[in-house]
Amino acid sequence: MFRVRALSRTLTALYDEELRPLGLKASQMNVMTAVAANGEERLSTLADGIALEPSSLSRVLDVMRRNGWVETLTDPDDERARLVRMTDAGNALYAQACPLWRKAQTRARKLLGGGDAEVFAELADRSLSRRAP
């Protein structure tokens, strides 16, 4: 399993390197992508959807809020729940980051090798689908 973790760190570093000119990290881009796809997202749903522990998501969101990229608000359907949504600044940053993300994707596929990248993606999908709720 050490090699899987090492590969994960290598890939994260690759994505972070591409996003660095915008002051963005891969973990923040994952959050932005999920929120951008849905407009607003419950924190619990978001954490589950991107396979991130709630405490880790909170740390990522704290930085993103301080930078003005996202905001949190009370869910009108359940006052106990919180929603997260992108701000105008976050949407603008996301638009700038998408081409860099695609470049990172290309580099990652090259690093993994053509067919191996697809095998790795399938393995990740199967593994994530089996994780405990």
CATH of 14-128, one of 3.40.50.620, 2.20.70.10, 3.30.460.10, 1.10.10.10: 1.10.10.10
Sheet holding 40-42, edge to edge: 40-42, 78-86, 70-75
For the chain, 133 residues long, the average pLDDT of each consecutive 10-residue run is 80 95 96 92 90 92 97 92 95 98 92 75 70 60
Which pLDDT score is estimated for 92? 98
Which pLDDT score is estimated for 122? 75
The Cα-based distances of 96 to 4, 69, 91 in angstroms read 30, 13, 9
- Alpha carbons 20 and 118: distance in angstroms, whole number: 26
Which pLDDT score is estimated for 113? 81
What is the pTM (predicted TM-score) of this model? Answer: 0.84
Sign, CA torsion 61/64/69/74: positive
